[in-house]
Amino acid sequence: MSLLDPKEIFKKFNNSWSALSEAEEPLSAPEQKRMASDLSEVFNYLSASTKKQNSFNSIYSQSASDARLKDQLTTDRTQLATQRDFIESSYEKVEQYFRTIQLAGYAAFFGLWSLSKDYLPEKYALYSLLLMIVSALVFMFWEILKSSIITLAIKDHAKIGSNLIENFIASRVKIRGRSSAIFLVTKYRFIPWFLSISSGIASVIILITLLVCRVINA
């Protein structure tokens, strides 16, 4: 329903107010009925005006809400990026430290084994050597597999900028496959780690035990 002219509403309100203020005797029934009709129209006008949405205020409110949401999303993305960088950096440092320790351990073991093999029982010395070789092979296989998958994934990402839609779709399919492979390698990395570390520790225990027994019996 369309609203009446504000001037007409104001006139009706003013007339009703003046009639009530200036009346010295009770109003007659027709005057009361006319005043009730005028005041009803004034009330309906005010009620409809308060419910009518101001387009400028609505746009301003929506813009302010969008700005707050954008700021919140920017903050969340910054925090997530910081956490991701921290986790990736920590993981890389731990992996580099572990790799360095393991390589140093291999070098120390083979050096000690080559110096002491002539003083140890041949059969057990060979057991120790074979276990350490298994540990080193598992470690090398794991590093080669991981590096190959990551390298292929990087190459696929580099090719994604092709102008042909067919090449773009094919690249996306390859990237999805590489990502799944990287996820599986990361998820099950404890298997080669366990095999490499357990066989290496077993080899070191055998070698140290033989050396201790050799010293005691000397």
pLDDT digits (tens, 9 = 90+) for 36-71: 777 777 777 766 665 555 555 555 556 666 677 777
Tell me which of 36-45, 48-57, 79-88, 146-155 is least confident. Answer: 48-57
Given this model, what pLDDT does residue 210 score? 85
Enter the tokens of residue 8. 């007409």
The reported pLDDT for the residue numbered 157 is: 56
CB 209 within 8 A of CB 115: no
Amino acid letter, 204:
V
Q: Diameter of the chain by CA atoms?
A: 135
pTM exceeds cut of 0.75? no
**Count of beta carbons in the 10 Å neighbourhood of residue 42:** 19
Angle at 20 between CA 16 and CA 23, to 5 degrees: 130
Query: Residue 192: is its pLDDT beyond 70?
Result: yes
Closest CA to 125 of 62, 39, 207, 197: 207
Per-residue model confidence (pLDDT) at position 49: 63
Judged against a pLDDT cut of 60, whether residue 28 lies above it is answered with: yes
Q: Name the most confidently modeled range: 64-68, 109-113, 171-175, 198-202.
A: 198-202
Domain boundaries in the chain? 6-51, 92-217
Query: Per-residue pLDDT for 126 more than 60?
Result: yes
Question: pLDDT value at position 64?
Answer: 61
Alpha-carbon gap, residue 19 to 35, rounded angstroms: 9
d(CA 13, CA 8): 9
Of the listed ranges 8-17, 136-145, 177-186, the least confidently predicted one is 177-186
Where does the pLDDT of residue 116 fall: very low under 50, low under 70, confident under 90, or very high at 90 and above?
confident
Provide the mean pLDDT of the chain.
72
- For residue 191, pLDDT beyond 60: yes
* 85's tokens: 């960088």
Q: Is the pLDDT of residue 82 over 60?
A: yes
Q: From CA 176, how far away is CA 134, in angstroms rounded?
A: 33
Burial label, 138 (beta-carbon count in 10 A; 0-12, 13-18, 19+): buried
Tokens of 46: 């005010």
- Three-state secondary structure call for residue 1: coil
The more confidently predicted of residues 8 and 86 is 8
